[in-house]
Amino acid sequence: MSRRRKNLLTVLGCTLLGAGAQVLFKLAGTALGPSPSPMAMIVCPPLIAGYILYGISTILLSFALRNDELSSMYPIISLTYVWVMFLSVWYFRESLNFYKVLGVAVIMGGVAVLGSPGNSDPAKDGSSPS
């Protein structure tokens, strides 16, 4: 497996971790209520777990981005919005409408264009130019 493919898979994994963290933050917000004390926030398991997922994601992202083009790898992070929407519909039973679907299509199209092989430097990913 090429370095670029490993980096792409790592960044994709980071989007899933980030989406999981967002779900945990929503659960924490619901559990904590409207006026949580600082101590309640410090010991809130979903909040702690969300921060841990974000921390892991940040560390993995820094490794994936260090040897690849930021301009072609980082747009993949926007897929986090896609996963959050699907998780929100599935787990929280939030509504799905035309505009959300359209937004997801635009995000995925943008990621496909910006992350396409023609948008990277072949010398850095080990492949030859087409």
For 121, the 3-state DSSP assignment is coil
The mean per-residue pLDDT over the stretch 33-54 comes to: 94
Report pLDDT digits (tens) over 52-89.
999 999 999 999 999 888 888 888 899 999 999 999 99
For 33, the 3-state DSSP assignment is coil
The mean per-residue pLDDT over the stretch 94-100 comes to: 95
Tokens of 104: 């997801």
What is the rounded distance in angstroms from the CA atom of residue 61 to the CA atom of residue 6?
12
Neighbours of 15 (CB within 10 A): 21
Confidence band of 119 (pLDDT split at 50, 70, 90) = low
pTM of the model: 0.82
The type of residue at 13 is: G
What is the rounded distance in angstroms from the CA atom of residue 39 to the CA atom of residue 30?
16
Tokens of 55: 């921390």
